[in-house]
Amino acid sequence: MAGNEMIILHVLGARPNFVKAAPVIDALAARGAAQAVVHTGQHYDEKMSEIFFRELGLPEPDVNLGVGSGSHAAQTAALMTGLEAEFLRRAPELVVVYGDVNSTIAAALVAAKLHLPVAHVEAGLRSFDMTMPEEVNRRLTDQLSALCLVTSPEAIGHLAAEGIDPARAHLVGNPMIDTLLTNLGHFDTAAVRAAHHLPERYVLATLHRPANVDDPATAAALVTHLHGIADLADLVIPLHPRGRANLLAAGLDTHQGVHVLDPLGYIDFLAAVRGAAAVVTDSGGLQEETTILAVPCLTVRPNTERPITITHGTNRLVTLDDLVPETRKALETDRHGTKRTPPLWDGHAGERIAEVIQTWRRESTR
């Protein structure tokens, strides 16, 4: 970065952010934009963080704040303190945030206080469940954003209903899908199965939401149902650091059909997803990725901020009690039906986002 050149500053904190940011950073670089990357260190496990930068070809972060874990209040306060210092030092022209993690709302709050404009990638998604910290984060971030970059059409309506000027909202498509399509040829399911001694047919699970894993009794009930799935087909579960202790304490790994793995890098994880007979999750992004990979997805949540994965994809919401019968049904379903792809999930969202940002830059300097 030369002299006092104005920069676009990307704030990344957790693995879904990295996947969404890669095509945006590439597209802006192709247009000659000066950029910097702040990694907050919200996800600090090597498999949850650094390996993603390598695999996705992201530039090395200009700084890693190393915030780590903590309560929502403690983590968000540490994020805001670290980000304020970076924003004051760099004076960015635009702060770009992604998704709905604590790093996202922390960056938006600090930028707003410093009168720095914010662009929110994945704006307008709503679960309408204010008990979810992610819902709080995404709603507030949108209110503070000059550019709301939207991944699916219904989000435009949500923003309008909340009084956000429609001129701030831009339907651009889903940059997470850009990354998936770019790397599709690298998803080698056979290699992942061999490396981890997995069977040919398996269900893959990822579970980390507080409502599912934080309470020991709920985690124990979840484990009972996961064992029920393992009675139908082997269950492969890369364990997120959150909830790991409670799930293992409840005996997750005591069933011979359960394969507990450490977190996987992006390429290996999506290779495992691609080869799964079905996926059980409480993740947001995985609902989108299974939609494109045409893998049946059972989301263990009462709601989703991504309903388009139900109307245009393979996703279904399930309760704990429904989990085993719905998994049985998914295992018996022909995966080769008609595939519907949500609008603009075509691998070019990063380019559209870069164009919106560049247009905003030109207009804001008039």
Q: Per the structure block, which two tokens stand in for 230? A: 């393992």
Assign 71 a pLDDT band (cuts: 50, 70, 90). Answer: confident
pLDDT at site 51: 79
Helix/strand/coil (H, E, C) string of the chain? Answer: CCCCCCCEEEEECCHHHHHHHHHHHHHHHHCCCCEEEEECCCCCCHHHCHHHHHHHCCCCCCEECCCCCCCHHHHHHHHHHHHHHHHHHHCCCEEEEECCCHHHHHHHHHHHHCCCCEEEEEECCCCCCCCCHHHHHHHHHHHCCCEEEECCCHHHHHHHHCCCCHHHEEECCCHHHHHHHHHHHHCCHHHHHHHHCCCCCEEEEECCCHHHHCCHHHHHHHHHHHHHHHHHCEEEEECCCCCHHHHHHCCHHHCCCEEEECCCCHHHHHHHHHHCCEEEECCCHHHHHHHHHCCCEEECCCCCCCCHHHHCCCEEECCHHHHHHHHHHHHCCCCCCCCCCCCCCCCCHHHHHHHHHHHHHHHHCC
Given a cut of 70, is residue 283 above it in pLDDT? yes
Angstrom distance (rounded) from CA 110 to CA 102: 12
Structural domain boundaries of the chain? 8-174+345-364, 188-331
End-to-end CA distance of the chain: 24
Instruction: Note the pLDDT tens digit of each residue in 296-336.
Output: 999 999 999 999 999 999 999 999 999 999 999 999 987 65
Instruction: Note the pLDDT tens digit of each residue in 167-201.
Output: 999 999 999 999 999 999 999 999 999 999 999 99
pLDDT at site 268: 96
Angstrom distance (rounded) from CA 56 to CA 53: 5
The predicted model scores a pTM of 0.94
Given a cut of 60, is residue 3 above it in pLDDT? no
Nearest residue to 239 via CA among 196, 200, 275: 196
pLDDT at site 50: 73
Measured on CA atoms in the order 300, 301, 304, 305, is the torsion positive or negative?
negative
Angstrom distance (rounded) from CA 144 to CA 332: 46
**Residue 208: active-site member:** yes
Q: What is the share, in percent, of the chain residues with pLDDT greater than 70?
A: 95
Same CATH topology for 8-174+345-364 and 188-331: the answer is yes
Angstrom distance (rounded) from CA 18 to CA 341: 23
| CATH architecture of the domain with residue range 8-174+345-364 | 3-Layer(aba) Sandwich (3.40)
Angstrom distance (rounded) from CA 144 to CA 106: 11
Asked whether 25 and 61 are in contact (CB, 8 A), the reply is no
Strands 147-150 and 169-171 turn out to be: parallel
Given a cut of 60, is residue 117 above it in pLDDT? yes
Given a cut of 50, is residue 2 above it in pLDDT? no
Angstrom distance (rounded) from CA 364 to CA 366: 6
Given a cut of 80, is residue 255 above it in pLDDT? yes
| Catalytic residue (choose from 10, 72, 208, 336) | 208
Indicate the residue type of 61: P
Pick the CATH number of 188-331 from 3.40.50.2000, 1.10.3720.10, 3.90.1300.10, 2.90.10.10: 3.40.50.2000
